[in-house]
Amino acid sequence: MLQDNRIWVGTSAGGPVHLLPAMANRHGLIAGATGTGKTVSLKVLAESFSDLGVPVFLSDIKSDLSGMVKPGVRSDSLDKRLRGCGADPEAFAYKAYPTVFWDVYAEQGHPIRATVEQMGPLLLSRMLSLNETQSGVMNILFRVARAEGYALRDLQDLKAMLVHIGENAKEYTLTYGNVSSASVGAIQRAVAILEDQGGDTFFGEPALDIGDWLRVAQNEDGTEQGVINILSADRLFNNPTMYSTFLLWMLTSLYDRLPERGDAKKPLIVFFFDEAHLLFNNCSRALMEKIEQVVRLIRSKGVGVYFITQNPADIPMTILGQLGNRIQHALRAYTPLDQKAVKVAAQTFRTNPAFDTEEAITTLKTGEALVSFLDEHGAPGIVERATILPPQSFMGAIAAEEREQCIAESPLYGVYEEAVDSEGAFEKLSAQKKAQEAAQAQTTQAPRFLLVNGVLRQVVPVEQAREFVQYNGNLWPIL
Ligand SMILES: Nc1ncnc2c1ncn2[C@@H]1O[C@H](COP(=O)(O)OP(=O)(O)OP(=O)(O)O)[C@@H](O)[C@H]1O
Ligand SMILES: [Mg+2]
């Protein structure tokens, strides 16, 4: 909820706690054990960004974010929470938010597609869980495709290109480095698995125009609200490597496409990545460096990134250090490992003399959190123990029909629904193969002798020809 153009997240003993929109691009973290209120805190932030006119992107793994399309429902317990936060329950506005659903599998939202080329060899290798040697071959494949003008749009193109470099491995090995048939075979098997997991829906065209995530909706009173883009990720999440690589692709493509912006009053877009620890599993060093770099530099392009995870220790230190705005819900401290995690989490905060941070983390109630946001100078504020406000939209999932209606009424309906299959490497290579076969067929079908005016004449190579005769629609050189 907004208060004097600042995001009012909750209230501590010292009064309301605010996140400053100008500091929202300094990234953030929402952590806490299961059921402690992370998703609700995320919603409170997302709604406020929307009210500021800032579009947001959320990955929804349990479908419990879909409720943002309709107003929340007043209840005694929410009234009590509001009063506890110093808000007037009578004046609290339960409302719906402009929401657009997306789905990589094109089932629960507009399809999101990217071309193989856009994904690039680094991320694609990760998506296919390739080892270093195989990733090297993938790199070569991309270089050959670029050099020889083969467009890599969908998985068919990728497969055709794999056959092509496999068949011409000797030649390419000389120019680009080792292309072993074992590596090509391994990549082909990995592509087949990706296809079975529905990767063929994701790769293709029309590719997503990231501008479609930066939309704002016009209210009747002339004010603007940022559109809430929800990625329906319950199916995608069943394949954690694809889920996490997809999110990384989004981040890197935004980074590549957006211009530098410098400091601004509010961010251009804010991303919330649920189950964020998955992003960093099985990352090659090259990819890890890329993620760190993107996270570090993307803020000057006006993009805020908020990671949601159970345990802050799941996030690599180099990234954790860049997350300026923090909401820490309760952590359990049953095992020595848990206790260590609590310590680590506590150490990331500037202590408040009023309470012991470590002890507070283990005793927070649901919907209560330790909160520290950056001040106007970019310095982390002293940690506060705050009760988080309730969201204004509906808490929980919506019915399938409600979702369908929302998709059908979306201004983007029809833009991405139909896949388009334009000429790529597959089409070009098949056409070349066909032409080659036809030429070969013609040479093998060439007659050795022709009967010309009752005399048998020998068919010879063109340069030895005495004359040419017409036969079977072709001109033949003869002696
Ligand atoms: N700020 C809040 N206002 C009102 N209710 C809340 C608040 N925070 C949490 N709750 C209640 O607690 C429940 C659990 O919260 P939530 O779903 O956010 O937990 P979570 O940390 O995301 O859990 P999980 O890790 O399982 O996803 C909510 O469904 C809601 O009923
Ligand atoms: Mg949750």
pLDDT tens-place string over residues 25-49:
999 999 999 999 999 999 999 999 9
Distance 147 CA to ligand 2 centre (A): 46
Q: Mean pLDDT across the stretch 259-279? A: 90
Q: Are both 320 and 387 inside the same structural domain?
A: yes
**Nearest partner of 134 among 179, 166, 177, 167, judged by Cα:** 179
Q: Mean pLDDT across the stretch 253-261? A: 90
Residue at 94: amino acid letter: Y
- Dist. CA 328–CA 10, nearest whole Å: 13
Of all helices (H) and strands (E), which one includes residue 134?
A: helix 132-148
- Dist. CA 18–CA 1, nearest whole Å: 10
Q: Is residue 214 part of a domain?
A: no
Q: Are both 175 and 199 inside the same structural domain?
A: yes
Which of 366, 371, 394 has the most ligand 1 atoms within 8 A of CB, as the residue to mutate? 366
- Dist. CA 342–CA 334, nearest whole Å: 10
DSSP designation for 280: G
Q: Domain total for the chain?
A: 3
Q: Are both 459 and 473 inside the same structural domain?
A: yes
Residue with tokens 């938010």: 97
Tokens of 120: 């690039």
In ligand 1, which atom is closest to the CA atom of 36? 21
Q: Are both 247 and 131 inside the same structural domain?
A: no
Q: Are both 245 and 137 inside the same structural domain?
A: no
Of all helices (H) and strands (E), which one includes residue 217?
A: strand 216-218
Ligand in nearest proximity to the CA of 395: 1
- Dist. CA 319–CA 309, nearest whole Å: 13
Q: Mean pLDDT across the stretch 365-369? A: 97
Of all helices (H) and strands (E), which one includes residue 207?
A: none
- On the question of a cis peptide bond just before residue 206, with omega within 30 degrees of 0, the verdict is yes
In ligand 1, which atom is closest to the CA atom of 329? 21
Q: Are both 335 and 436 inside the same structural domain?
A: no
In ligand 1, which atom is closest to the CA atom of 387? 1
In ligand 1, which atom is closest to the CA atom of 78? 4
Q: Mean pLDDT across the stretch 346-355? A: 94
Q: Is residue 9 part of a domain?
A: yes
Q: Is residue 414 part of a domain?
A: no
- Dist. CA 448–CA 216, nearest whole Å: 73
Q: Is residue 432 part of a domain?
A: yes
Report the length, in residues, of the chain: 479
Distance 383 CA to ligand 1 centre (A): 21
Q: Is residue 216 part of a domain?
A: no
The pLDDT-based confidence of 330 (bands split at 50, 70, 90) is very high
Backbone phi and psi for residue 71, each to the nearest 5 degrees, phi listed first: -70, 150
Q: Is residue 212 part of a domain?
A: no
In the chain, what percentage of residues exceed pLDDT 90?
70
Tokens of 251: 């981040």
Mean pLDDT of the chain: 92
The CATH number that applies at residue 94 is 3.40.50.300
> Do strands 325-328 and 368-372 pair parallel, antiparallel, or not at all (unpaired)?
antiparallel
Q: What residues line ligand 1, using a CB cutoff of 6 Å? A: 32, 34-40, 81, 366-367, 388, 390, 395
pLDDT at 370 over 90: yes
Neighbour tally for 326: CB within 10 Å: 25
Q: Are both 267 and 398 inside the same structural domain?
A: yes
pLDDT given at position 219: 87
Distance 42 CA to ligand 1 centre (A): 10
Q: Are both 122 and 252 inside the same structural domain?
A: no
Distance 41 CA to ligand 2 centre (A): 9
Q: Which residues pair with 15 in a beta bridge?
A: 12
Per the structure, the complete domain to which residue 236 belongs is given by 2-112+221-408
Q: Is residue 233 part of a domain?
A: yes
Q: Are both 248 and 385 inside the same structural domain?
A: yes
Q: Are both 69 and 149 inside the same structural domain?
A: no
Backbone phi and psi for residue 231, each to the nearest 5 degrees, phi listed first: -85, 115
Strand, helix or coil at 31?
Answer: strand
Neighbour tally for 190: CB within 10 Å: 18
pLDDT tens-digit readout, 56-100: 999 999 889 999 999 999 999 999 999 999 999 999 999 999 999
Residue nearest to atom 31 of ligand 1 (CA): 395
pLDDT at 442 over 80: no
